[in-house]
Amino acid sequence: MDLALLRTFVTVHRAGSFTRAAALLGLSQPAVTSQIRTLERQLGRPLFLRQARGVTPTTIGDELAHKAAPHLDALVEIAETGLDEDSSLRTLHLAGPPEFTAERALPALTEVSGDAGQGFALRASFGNAEETLEGLAAGHHDLAITTARPRGALLTATPLCDEEHVLVAAPRWTACVGPGKLRRKGAHALENFPVVEVHESLPLVSRYWASVFDSRPAASGTVVVPDLRAVLACAAAGAGLAVLPRYLCAAALERGDVVALLDPAVPPLRTYFLVVRTGTLAMPHIARAHDWLLRAAVDWC
């Protein structure tokens, strides 16, 4: 059986789409379709059921993918790593949100990237969840950190850690609104207060309001800046209220640069996922980074 046909088949199986598989393989969609039909003729059985959006593997298709994929992944690892003595140093391409990647992931990976000559070179890029997952699926990244769990078999996600969100402001705002007033009036106590956020849609504030107050924020963003570290700086300077991950504002809270306006019994949480292309954990440098981040995340929760 032609290995090229099997490689195309496994890619389609993981991508769930001829179109996406073609992009990943650098082929035209008709070429992918032709290869799958050739393989189906050789086996005498259909491998996929064509649907309006993508394809679904048949029972035979699932069985073939289960048997073939690990061996193809191993061959890819041999081809990419080579047999040189110096091949142990590979480059890991990491992608994720700028703040979490900079504050959490990169310091942890820096500890292991050059460890005893068994590590890897490291390259990082930042982006939102959609951009990061698209880049990972297209092969631009090896490992991604995202707050969105991907669908389909092309990508495999593992929960990494949960981050707690905190409603903060500069200390001077507590004269106008404090925990007592918030407990009595809820979100109504905050209707006229300025808000600092990362996007006009107020994603963090909206999530906090829905979780804690069971409502939607009435205010609009007074300061909108696409970096949580800048949001923290603006909030500390007195620009308005902000919702921030506790890990990011913990030091500022301890110094008194900002204060937590509320301490809900069940604080809002957001889950981060560690995502790889299915099968790539067979590559030692990706597996090493994946395992190290999971170990480090135990202390982040």
Task: Check residue 144 and give its pLDDT.
Answer: 97
**Positive or negative CA dihedral for 112, 116, 120, 123?**
positive
Sign, CA dihedral 127-131-134-139, equals: negative
In this prediction the pTM is: 0.74
Burial annotation 18-39 (CB, 10 A radius, 16+ → b, else e): bbbbbbbbebeeeebbebbeeb
Q: What was the pLDDT predicted at 257?
A: 97
| pLDDT at residue 125, as a whole number | 95
Average pLDDT along the chain, 301 residues, taken 10 residues at a time: 85 87 85 92 92 87 87 70 55 94 92 62 93 88 94 88 95 74 67 90 93 86 93 96 96 96 90 91 86 92 67
